[in-house]
Amino acid sequence: MGTVAESKQTYVLHAKVEGRQAAESPAPIWENIGARKRAFLSASIPHEWRVPAGLLPPDSQDDVTAWPATSGWFTREELDITEQTAVQLVARLASGELKSETVTRAFCKRAAAAHQLVNCLSETCFERAIATARARDEHFAKTGQPIGPLHGLPISLKDNFKLAGLDSTVGFSSHVGDAAAVDSTLAKVLEEAGAVFYVKTNVPTAMMIAETINNVFGRTLNPMNRQTTSGGSSGGESALLVLKGSPIGVGTDIGGSLRIPAACTGIFTLRPSGGRFPVRDCRSGMPGQEGVMSVNGPMARTLEDIAMYSRVVIDSQPWLRDAKCHPLPWKPLELPRKLRIGVMWDDTLVRPTPPVARALRHTVTKLLRAGHDVVDWQPTDMLQSLTMIGKFFVADGALAIRKELERTGEPWRPEMDAYRDAQPMSVYDVWNLQTERTAFQNANLDRWNDAGLDALLLPTMPYVTHRHQGTRHVAYTAVFNILDVSAVSFPTGLTVDKSVDLLGQDYEARSDTCQAINTEYDPSLLDGMPISLQLVARKLEEEKVLGMTQSVLQALSG
């Protein structure tokens, strides 16, 4: 693997030259840039981690989640390591039972295989990872102590997190070759806690599509059914996690970009309020758009892993490094045995598809049996929130995105028609929109107080997942970005049953979008897929929403 760093330098130079040529010539060069970038990514995977063609599952095989365990390509030790949760691995690494280099190599190999199955990566840094892991092992050998609470743990990052020497294209060909000079603040926090970085994951163009596809790397597939999406914009992370190519990853969320991918693949995530986790030195697809704040958060296969990560980051006092972070230490708390939970059966715009509705009914039944107080919550303003977030996203007439596309002649993705056709708002109109947002937040706070709620339970999406290019509705997540509250998406333990989850004859659509979603709903396609829901707390209640989610999981298991 010694030549990869040299290849990177050569590659960056070529990419920058092509970028300059694009500015001087009307001929689009985005195709060449994308092809070169994909070739470099492929070449960065060493020969020993490239799956022989004869071992790869056929393209016709939809579910590839069992392939790592059944292919015979992984050793028993590699499978044992990569099947562990982050909490389990940290304990074994901190005790010296496992070496970081051994763990890191196992996840590098499994991540490389995951990419070959579902196209989930955007960058690799295997040399950096192995060097870091060896340093962790040397420290432990000398001192007998871990370097920090994440000692030796591989962590994957969404593409927009900067790592020095690597691109953060956020799906734009214009950013290819623009390698980061520094690590993002969050990456520094995690590495100082002992983490090891080894891959970054794919995103949609500008991170503004609820599926993961762009003109540089192409489409990421859902490992549970490759005919369906892994969500977006953190869909590279969700796909990698489901294939156990990462024990824990970090994504971002501006309209549902953590929660939607988590729900599409049946994993856990935390959407924190703005100011809990550092965002400094991360690349944005729309820099300067702060009417709705982008936040980052962990994605993992267990809630315990999410809680561990969250405490480590907050215990690092990120407010001393990022002016946007609030000085709020981690707050241990004891929840009341009886929670008051509002249940939002639908958003008045789109009815949930049958499996999601069934999971919500099942969860409410379990919560009532566990002694919790569950009350109906009727939303009154979902269309307003959806309209507001759409206006914020295109307030500049999508000029920030348009300029990046024009640099290389890159065409608009068809999923971004609303951005392509947008007209800029005046400063006066933006100010009025911000005034409306704040009034909306206060009205919801008053209503929440009047109801005396601890949490709100509702679908993460109206569907479980869907075929590619089938995203139609994000209101179930986007409203909470407008409100900037803490939320968790969690798997209920239920899966789609094609013989049960059928549309009833009495079904009535609430809108054209609702009709389209339910018309496209195919229980046979989704049979066996996990069903997730969303639990929402107040602003800056990350500790509480994690604890309440644990209470919900306990009720579900009872």
Known binding-site positions for substrate? 207, 233, 254-257
How far apart, in whole angstroms, are the C-alpha atoms of residue 371 and residue 217? 49
* Cα–Cα dist 38/44, whole Å: 10
Residue 331's SS3 state is: coil
- Measured between alpha carbons, how far is 178 from 176 in angstroms, rounded to an integer? 6
Q: What is d(CA 538, CA 456) in angstroms, rounded to the nearest whole number?
A: 9
Chain-centroid distance of CA 10 in Å reads 31
| Under 8 Å between Cβ of 455 and 535 | yes
Neighbour count for residue 337 (Cβ, 10 Å): 9
8 A C-beta contact, residue 381 and residue 530: no
278 HSE (CA, 13 A, CB side): 25
CB atoms within 10 A of CB 174: 23
**What is d(CA 376, CA 203) in angstroms, rounded to the nearest whole number?**
36
Point out the residues that are catalytic: 158, 233, 257
Say if residues 372 and 338 touch (Cβ distance below 8 Å). yes
Phi-psi region of 484 (alpha: psi -120 to 50; beta: other; left: phi over 0): left
Which residues sit opposite 155 in a β-bridge?
197
Q: Could you tell me where the DSSP H helices lie in 417-537?
A: 417-420, 427-451, 475-483, 512-520, 523-526
487-495 vs 530-536, strand pairing mode:
antiparallel
DSSP 361-414: HHHHHHHHHTT-EEEE---S-HHHHHHHHHHHHTTBTTHHHHHHHHHHTPPPPG
Positions at the binding site = 207, 233, 254-257
For the chain, what percentages of helix, strand and coil (3-state, to nearest 5) are there?
Answer: 45, 15, 40
Question: For 215, phi and psi rounded to 5 degrees?
Answer: -85, 0
Q: How many CB atoms lie within 10 A of CB 515?
A: 15
Can you tell me which residue has the tokens 């407008």? 482
Sign of the CA dihedral with 146 first, then 148, 149, and 152 last: negative
- Three-class SS of residue 459? strand
Distance CA 490, CA 51 (A): 32
